[in-house]
A and B are shown apart, each in its own frame.
Chain A
Amino acid sequence: MTTETLNMPIYMDYSSTTPVDPRVAEKMIPFITESYGNPASRSHPFGWAAEKAVENARQEVAKLVNADPREIIWTSGATESNNLAIKGAGNFYSAKGKHIISVATEHKAVIDAVREMERLGFETTFIEPEPDGLISIEKFKAAIRPDTVLASVMLVNNEIGVIQDITAIGNICREQQIIFHVDAAQATGKVKIDLNELPVDLMSFSAHKTYGPKGVGALYVRRKPRIRIEAQMHGGGHERGMRSGTLATHQIVGMGEAFRIARLEMESECSRIKALQERLLKGLTEIDETYVNGDMKKRVPHNLNVSFNYVEGESLVMAIKGIAVSSGSACTSASLEPSYVLRALGRSDELAHSSIRFSIGRFTQESDIDFAIKLLKDKIDRLRDLSPLWEMFQEGVDLEKVEWAEH
């Protein structure tokens, strides 16, 4: 990357946002400087050029997930896609029933949109995942009621990287005629998505988690059988009335190129990153009292979420400034509350607090991994040297049974 980033920490926060791939940025620039028309302008070539670029990008997004381009609706990001899918489908099909199923470990954008539906008179069930982060199909079945109209389950979790069994859940939804929405913001370019095969009705995508620009996303809306949604944004009637607003051509072009690259390079990239993940895992588990959060088999190679016992979370984050990582989801890491995702897996507050999410990607090198391992080993050693809890643990004191004196 450029010299400006030399003094910056090593970036291991790809699940928060990825850098824009230079090839993507290069494709975007001409649509800022030359072909700057409004894609909705039908009376001149500036508008036509923009429209053509938008449609090419739509094809690229569709190709990555094996969908029909007509099934792709542009939005400003996965948050908007999730809001549109849940509120749009929930409201459109509300006559069929007013019960929604989702999962406690979904992204806030899904959880808050589902909560909003409660305000509109819907009832909701949030399934608690198993300790490995995966949801039990039996629990999902048991949550279904005669009035269940919509289910929303994410494909890849943003904090722990586990991959849910979307096919099994989707098949149940099909049997029960429940509309099935999947948040795939963290999945594109990491796992194969074939919407021709998958029993999924609505799927949310984001560009900036897959080396595209921020500020653009998409919603897949199935045509066969046709799924209807109530528009949330009204206006010029863009995107076949499902989402009004001038299309940001350069950003859409960026998303198309990012998804094209993802389609072509996903396989080789994933095996390279898998090796890095294994190296990181091996290095970190050499540290005592280290717990990996989430299943390791059904998981994307880009993510490793680890709790370090007997280390105070905040001090740990401060101590490892040389790498840019997350403790909990980026969107909530400004607060000191322990991650709700890790809590849902049954982790104690302490272990949730001392968890670090390493998320790696296209530009991560082996040397970055080795640097991170060494940094973690050194700093945890030092922090534990200072920790009375660690000392007690070493002496064999069962901390669960200690009666702490009140101050």
Chain B
Amino acid sequence: MIYFDYNATTVIHPEVLNEMIPFLSNQQGNPASNHKFGRRAQTAIEEAREKVACSVNAHPSQVIFTASGTESNNTIINGIAQNYPETHFAYSAIEHPCISEPIKSLSKKGFVTTKIPVDSQGMLDLDKIENDSKNPISFLSVMMANNETGIIQDLPKIIEWAKLKKIITHTDAVQALGKITVDFEMLEVDAMTISSHKIYGPQGVAALILNKKIDMSAFIMGGGQEKGLRSGTENIAAIIGFGKACERTKEHMVLLNRNIKPLQVQLISELKKMGALIFGENSERLNNTVFFTFKGIDGSTLLTALDRKGFALASGSACSSNNSEPSHVLIAMGVSEEIAQGAIRISLGINSNKNEVDTFLIALKSELERLKQLTAIAA
């Protein structure tokens, strides 16, 4: 089986696992306990926090550990909503559902919300924002890199625009970390979400990086961990793993640039020769992601056929792979439902190699021919 679904989740790096094992197999304390076991757990967590902070150029005190990227995004949105009931929430049309759904839920509770459109190349269109002067936008969430298309937004420009309007800004950098430079301080963004299992760390841990000027209420309450902003006993082993994974991101970026970028170039050029349409082709994209479709070929049939041949691919984002709705990201880019239905995503990882890509292209070619013949017979 060849794994081409690294944007859904990555395999844990052996070095990350090595650091985690002692925290799974030896007696560990509850970090809140005031004895040697507890204090040792607390120290380990603080070391991991420093590594996480360092990977995004933030201060350790700005890092709040959560259980998932979804939770980080829900936390910032709910935390702002609770403290500022007048907030006007804006988000881009291509956000992950864990941004759009909590905002939609607030909209039902009476909050004003705005979905900002993107252009055909998947880029946020600042000119298209209808900002009502009576009730201007006061919170904006725009993802750094899109999980489906890999398109990278021009965040410095967006945040500069938002700062002038005194808008609180948040970016979901879950797909960006470990693939492009993520610099919390330089971006001057107020809050940022990152996740462990997309960067060769374990599932079950993520972080919200928060500018301390932002006054946010807690989302999960209780024992007062994470400075009261996120209660619940810390998931030590996973946090340790997350720290190590963050430490490795710089090396992974080098690997992606050196080894994976050429594979992406090869894939795009070969896919186009076979007649594929590449989504967001003219935009700056992540080195590892290719999102494409073949007109007139049913995407799910092709996906199933390729799966039988041993290729793990995705159609749109993993979270929505189980429903047959066309990708909301492609619809936002003006792609027709029919074309969006057939979209297939390849996302490569640091362990991907040319042999895998070559094998895939051969398999794809033969499947395409078979399906074209079938379509012709059916017609």
Residues of chain A having any CB pair with chain B under 8 Å: 1-2, 4-5, 8-9, 11, 13, 16-17, 19-20, 22, 25, 28-29, 32-33, 36-38, 40-47, 76-80, 82-83, 107-110, 112-113, 115-116, 206, 208, 213-216, 231-238, 244-251, 317, 321, 324-327, 329-334
Contacts and interface: CB of A to CB of B under 8 A. Distances in A.
A44 B5 contact: yes
A233 B222 contact: no
Contact of A234 (B14, B32, B101, B222): B101
A45 B1 contact: yes
B26 to A, nearest CB: 6
A234 B107 CA distance: 13
Interface in B24-65: 24-30, 32-38
B232 A216 contact: no
Given A8-B37, A13-B38, A36-B12, 6 more contacts: A9-B37, A13-B35, A44-B312, A46-B3, A110-B222, A208-B233
Nearest to B236: A214
A9 B33 CA distance: 13
Contacts of B20: 32
A377 B36 CA distance: 22
B235 interface: yes
Interface of A is mostly: loop
A19 B221 contact: no
Contacts of B197: 38, 246, 248
Please name the 5 residue pairs, one residue from A and one from B, whose CB atoms are nearest each other, closest first. Answer: A215-B235, A236-B319, A248-B204, A235-B98, A109-B222
Contacts of A324: 29, 33, 35-38
A16 B27 contact: no
Contacts of A47: 5, 8, 312, 318, 321
B222 A113 contact: yes
Nearest to A325: B35
Given A19-B27, A215-B238, A233-B71, A9 B232 contact: no
Given A236-B98, A330-B33, A251 B204 contact: yes
A334 B66 CA distance: 21
A107 B98 CA distance: 29
Nearest to A323: B35
Contact of B203 (A1, A79, A247): A247
Contacts of B78: 232
Contact of A112 (B11, B66, B231): B231
A303 to B, nearest CB: 15
B271 interface: no
A112 to B, nearest CB: 4
A213 to B, nearest CB: 6
A4 B25 CA distance: 11
19 contacts: A1-B26, A1-B27, A8-B27, A13-B30, A13-B35, A32-B12, A38-B5, A38-B8, A38-B318, A44-B314, A107-B222, A116-B221, A232-B74, A237-B101, A246-B203, A248-B203, A251-B235, A333-B33, A333-B34
Contact of B24 (A1, A28, A110, A112): A28
A32 B17 contact: yes
Which range holds the interface residue count of chain B?
A: 35 or more
Contacts of B96: 235-236
Contacts of B223: 79, 107-109, 329, 331-332
Contacts of A244: 70, 74, 97-98, 101, 319
A83 B321 contact: no
B185 interface: no
Contacts of A330: 30, 32-33, 38
B212 to A, nearest CB: 21
B35 to A, nearest CB: 4
Residue of A13, A29, A38, A325 contacting most chain B CB atoms (<10 Å): A38
B235 A234 contact: no
Contact of B28 (A19, A42, A77, A325): A19
B202 A250 contact: yes
A117 to B, nearest CB: 11
Interface string B212-247: 000000011111110000011111111000000000
Nearest to A235: B98
A235 B21 CA distance: 31
Residue of B28, B69, B96 contacting most chain A CB atoms (<10 Å): B28
A237 B5 contact: no
B136 interface: no
Nearest to B222: A109
A333 B42 CA distance: 14
B32 A245 contact: no
Nearest to B20: A32
Interface in B108-147: none
Residue of A1, A19, A248 contacting most chain B CB atoms (<10 Å): A248
Nearest to A32: B12
Given A42-B321, A215-B238, A79 B232 contact: yes
A36 to B, nearest CB: 5
A16 B33 contact: yes
B97 A237 contact: yes
Given A46-B3, A245-B98, A83 B27 contact: no
B220 A43 contact: no
A8 B36 contact: yes
A327 B33 CA distance: 9
A333 B32 contact: yes
Residue of A28, A113, A235, A237 contacting most chain B CB atoms (<10 Å): A235
Contacts of A45: 1, 307, 312
Contact of B313 (A43, A248, A250, A332): A43
A114 B225 CA distance: 18
Contacts of B70: 233, 235-236, 244-246
A8 B203 CA distance: 30
Contact of A44 (B34, B231, B307): B307
Contacts of B375: none
B204 A76 contact: yes
A32 B24 CA distance: 12
